[in-house]
Amino acid sequence: MKTILFFVVSYLIGSIPFSHIFPSLKGKDVSKAGSKNIGATNALVVAGPLMGALALIGDILKGFLPIFFALRYNLSPWTVTFIALALVAGHDFSVFLKFKGGKGLATTGGCLLAFDPIFALLVLLIWILTIIATRYFILSTIIVLGGLPLAMMVLGMRGEVVAFALGAFLLSLYAHRNDLMRLISGQEVRANEAVSKFLSK
């Protein structure tokens, strides 16, 4: 019963749409502008650096803080895993946005940061290097998240953390399904082109 309660509360926390809330303070609606994705990157594009940064911080913290406290209160490892997946699912399918949402990357990162800060920072570095190598944000995200469970198993990390990584990857695949179709069809914008377009505004 407690596990179900934790899952529901975590889902509601994950559902808080910071990437929608902060841009709305400037009268901007990220669901109708830019890429129309309810995420920190689109908040940056649509509402500017400050709102984008606040959205990013909010999305990371809603993943980090619940896991940080869950670990400190010695909840069972698998309960923590379910909490983490509920947080990411909440971001992807927010009850406050009619079950629409973002791609869950920042919230996933926040959870990883709570599980293992050093490993999370290493994953961030690998993600950046992968973007430089592939020149695509979406492809890099899928490659890195897809490789996470295997990397964790090789490093001997706990099974429940590996399970979270696998679940987060599957959620990311679904959230990025339209982006992947554009990538396959050759219509996805390259990372350097997206950055150049943003800087030219």
Report the C-alpha gap between 43 and 23 in whole angstroms: 6
How far, in Å, CA of 162 to CA of 196, rounded? Answer: 36
Greatest pairwise CA separation for the chain in angstroms:
53
pLDDT tens across 22-61, in order?
A: 999 988 888 888 777 888 888 888 888 899 999 999 999 9
Domain segments of the chain: what residues? 2-199
Confidence of residue 200 (pLDDT cuts 50, 70, 90): low
Beta-bridge mates of residue 124: none
Six-digit token pair at 136?
């695509």
Q: What is the pLDDT of residues 131-163, one digit of tens each?
A: 999 888 888 999 999 999 999 999 999 999 999
What radius of gyration do the chain's Cα atoms show?
A: 16
**Cα–Cα distance for residue pair 136/143, rounded to 1 Å:** 11
DSSP-assigned beta bridge partners for residue 94: 100
Tokens representing 165? 């990584």
Q: Is the pLDDT of residue 3 over 80?
A: no
DSSP tag of 135: -
Q: Which residues pair with 100 in a beta bridge?
A: 94
